[in-house]
Structure 1
Amino acid sequence: MFSLLRWLFKAALVFVGVSVLWVGIYHFVPVPFTFTMAGDLLQGRSVTKDWMSLDEMSPNMARAAIAGEDARFCEHHGFDFDAIADAAQRNARGGRIRGGSTISQQTAKNAFLFQGGGYLRKAVEAWFTVLIEAMWPKRRIMEVYLNVAETGIGTYGANAAAFRYFNHDASRLSPTEAGRIAAVLPLPKKRAAISPTGSVRRHGNVITRHVGVVRRAGLDSCLR
């Protein structure tokens, strides 16, 4: 038993050291690849990505992400417990399951982990969320998120999405275009930003209307 505990302690130390180093490297280096991208390749899909810094990207994209995914992004420290509680109440009433994950949590999952995995992956996701909130500024969290989030089948990041859907780069995204990309984020393998219909169009229109609200209310203040 003592040997097992000692082995577990050493394994935990290695995990902590590697994860801190990994997050530290990604503070400065564009994320080159993710486990989700690897999953696409294993299924025979091509992967399209095109990193763009937040400085070059239209601010409409970050505002649309805040409007659609995480209105308290600039206020919380990785976890929005009010959103988690609201999601739990909605899910308890039945219907489509909704999450309460913040952009920070989604960044941790997308950059360092894989989709699915249940509670164990959620626990590791929480650890990486704490790390990126402690080691990265909010601008870097948003920058990584907008470059590694899946925005369509085999498409990753806002810039690749802008080329795919609108034939120009993400520096020229209008509020409507950014809203449509943000509307794809929750279900990127089932939604498309070009000529969207039904709930995707409605959700994109709502996000578009709130892009200006995010700017006027200063909900993106940590990115300026």
Structure 2
Amino acid sequence: MRRVLSWALALVVLVVGLPYLLIPLYALPQIRPVSTLMLGELMSGRAYERQWVGFQAIAPVLVQSVMMSEDGQYCSHSGIDWQALNLVIDDALDGEATRGASTIPMQTAKNLFLPSTRSVLRKALEIPLAMWMDLAWSKRRLMEIYLNVAEWAPGIYGVEAAAQAYFGVPAAKLSARQSALLAVTLPNPIKRNAANPSRGMQKLARVIEQRAQQSGAYIKCLYD
């Protein structure tokens, strides 16, 4: 029993510690990480679509739209938007419905290393990983990885595959409206369809499109 417990503890330490060793490796531009969902697809025998594309080959309006939809303070925080997170905690303690407070680094940590199921434990693991990513990677590299591992539809990962699947264009040629529709697809890629948006999606996309047009002061860390 003691030996079994020792092996179990060693396995837990390995699983928890491995991401911290991989993150500096992923800073190298030639490394193209895959997400836990992609690994799950492979293990289940299902095919998935993902075409890696460099940051410079992604339409800036797509980057602006995603940032203003998912993490407007991306350039100013160090992996965690503590103000937004504190508001969510306060709402939870008061018994109110909570809003999402996951930053792009937190979502990237989840996509690369953690299960997709929601839990307090997963959120606790996300926070230090997100801070380590923000320290080890440039903001541009972090955004590049996020856009290439995010799920945009069932079996569709990365912005290049999403742009081709939804609109038949490369990520570099996305329009402002297409970019906004892709951005609002991210929170629920299983039910939302950027090529066939509901009225609610269209309304939200118009808001994101307007925010992207006014995002100049928010994206300086990505486009110096």
Query: TM class by shorter-chain length?
Result: 0.7 to 0.9
Give the match's secondary structure for 2:194. Answer: coil
Counterpart AA for 1:85: N
AA matched with 2:76: E
Gaps of 5+ in 2: none
Contact preservation (8 Å) 2:26, 2:33: no
2:85, 2:49 → 1: CA distance? 32
* Shift, 1:94, TM fit: 4.9
- 1:223 counterpart SS class: coil
More displaced 10-residue stretch of structure 1: 116-125 or 83-92: 83-92
1:52 alignment partner in structure 2: 53
Structure 1 window deviating more from structure 2 (152-161 vs 108-117): it is 108-117
| Amino acid of the structure 2 residue aligned with 1:221 | K
1:30–1:144 contact (8 Å) kept in structure 2: no
Matching residue's letter, 2:222: L
1:161 maps to 162
Q: Are the counterparts in 2 of residues 58 and 173 from structure 1 also a CA contact under 8 Å?
A: yes
Q: Deviations over 1:94-117 (max 9, x none)?
A: 56x531100111011112222015
Number of positions where the alignment pairs a residue of Structure 1 with one of Structure 2: 219
Determine helix, strand or coil for the equivalent of 2:215: helix
Q: Distance in 2 between matches of 1:10 and 1:195?
A: 48
User: What is the CA distance between 1:7 and its match in structure 2?
Assistant: 8.6
Partner residue in 1 for 2:22: 22
Query: Shift in Å at residue 18 of structure 1?
Result: 3.0
One-letter amino acid matched to 1:197: S
Q: Deviations over 1:120-162 (max 9, x none)?
A: 2222212211210110011111111111011111111111110
Deviations 1:29-54 (A, max 9, x none): 44342211233455664311111111
Amino acid at match of 2:218: L
Look up the equivalent residue of 2:40 and give its one-letter code. G
Distance of 1:45 and 1:119 partners within structure 2? 29
For structure 1, which runs of at least 5 residues remain unmatched after alignment? none
Aligned partners of 1:152 and 1:189 also within 8 Å? yes
